[in-house]
Amino acid sequence: MIYNVTYRYQTNYTKGVLEMRKFSMILMVAALGFVTAACGGGTTAGTAAKPAEPAAATASSGSSGSAKESTVEQIKKRGKLIIATSGNFRPITFMNEQGQIAGLDIEIGNAIADKLGVKAEFVPGNLAGLIPGMNAGKFDLVMSGLTMTDDRKKAIDFSDKYLSDGAVAVVKKDNTTVKDVQHLQGLVAGVIGGSGTHSIIKELGGYKELKEYPGHAEALTDLKAGRIEVYTAGNIAAMDYIKNDKSEIPLKIVGEQYAIKDIGVGIRKNEDELKSIINSVIAEKKKDGSLDKLIAKWIGTPAK
């Protein structure tokens, strides 16, 4: 009887030891699997995928792309120079009656593309988004009567100047209240958002309200309808509109030009090779007189 009790005790003890060893082995295998997974061994379902490379790290239409390939080399390889423009700033850049983009900047842009041995592709868009778009690599250049304001110089580089322009006030012909662009106290004024004139008017202040527009035509429509009392714009575009306007509500420019600034081609920072090529085109056109002919063709006699 004693023997049987002892035997059962030993048997149960042996089974317990075996069960404990079996349980320990299971824990060891589980731990080993956890360590392997933590060390990144292999890609399995449920594991987070490696984040995609940001767009700026890949060769885009306008970005510098590969460190071995300059922007100029990319443009030549691509076969086209991508230029952002507003397309609604006549006579600098606008859509003509044939639905084609035309204007002074378009002709200069085509000359730059010719120098590079490629075609120019003009991409119209709201002026306020052109510089950010270029800096994001969507475009190679910005050409839209781009004045060299201090804020823009912080964000981009400019070519040598090829034109100048100043801000003016445009009102209905029977308006006798507005004297010039510097005195907008108590008035509802309009301006193209993101333009050089926009920066000037915000700095001057004094207006009751400043409404922003995507383009020249929209602002002048509101001026004629009485939704704004004065439109502040670059002198070149204002003169061209008034000269070609055939509506029953005539407009006029009042006062003198204010804050005349140089106009150039907008270029991303540190694009020295591309900038040098653009400057060579502008210098050649100044030297042979063709720039003056283009200005006379499209504008007449702008600010020098």
Supply the CATH number for residue 218's domain: 3.40.190.10
Angle at CA 169, nearest 5°, toward 185 and 129?
A: 100
Q: Which two tokens stand for residue 225?
A: 């309808």
Q: Are residues 190 and 141 in the same domain?
A: no
Q: Which two tokens stand for residue 114?
A: 């010719």
Instruction: With beta carbons less than 8 A apart as the criterion, state whether 170 and 220 touch.
Output: yes
User: Is the residue at 304 inside a domain?
Assistant: no
Q: Are residues 252 and 280 in the same domain?
A: no
User: Is the residue at 173 inside a domain?
Assistant: yes
DSSP label at residue 189: E
Residue 204 phi, psi (nearest 5): -70, -45
Instruction: With beta carbons less than 8 A apart as the criterion, state whether 137 and 56 touch.
Output: yes
Q: Are residues 84 and 119 in the same domain?
A: yes
Q: Are residues 217 and 152 in the same domain?
A: no
* Calpha distance 159→129 (Å, rounded): 20
- Please, what is the angle between helix 104-116 and helix 71-78, to 10°? 90
User: Is the residue at 114 inside a domain?
Assistant: yes
Amino acid identity for residue 183 in this structure: H
Q: Are residues 268 and 158 in the same domain?
A: yes
DSSP label at residue 147: B
Q: Are residues 91 and 186 in the same domain?
A: no
* Domains: count for the chain: 2
Q: Are residues 200 and 253 in the same domain?
A: yes
Q: Are residues 76 and 221 in the same domain?
A: no
Q: What distances in angstroms separate CA 241 from CA 51, 125, 250, one per listed residue?
A: 51, 20, 11
User: Is the residue at 30 inside a domain?
Assistant: no
Q: What is the pLDDT along the chain (304 residues), one digit of tens a residue?
A: 333 333 333 344 334 433 444 434 443 434 334 333 333 333 323 323 333 233 233 333 444 444 579 999 999 999 999 999 999 999 999 999 999 999 999 999 999 999 999 999 999 999 999 999 999 999 999 999 999 999 999 999 999 999 999 999 999 999 999 999 999 999 999 999 999 999 999 999 999 999 999 988 899 999 999 999 999 999 999 999 999 998 999 999 999 999 999 999 999 999 999 999 999 999 999 999 999 999 999 998 755 5
As a dihedral over the C-alpha atoms of residue 279, residue 280, residue 282, residue 288, rounded to 10 degrees, the angle is 160
Residue 15 phi, psi (nearest 5): -60, -40
User: Is the residue at 34 inside a domain?
Assistant: no
User: Is the residue at 15 inside a domain?
Assistant: no
Residue 91 phi, psi (nearest 5): -95, 15
Find, among 68, 72, 65, the residue nearest to 272 by Cα. 72
- pTM confidence score: 0.76
Q: Are residues 90 and 101 in the same domain?
A: yes
User: Is the residue at 227 inside a domain?
Assistant: yes
Q: Which domain holds residue 196?
A: 165-262
Q: Are residues 156 and 191 in the same domain?
A: no
User: Is the residue at 54 inside a domain?
Assistant: no
Q: Are residues 154 and 171 in the same domain?
A: no
The alpha carbon of 275 is separated from its chain's Cα centroid by a whole number of angstroms, namely 18
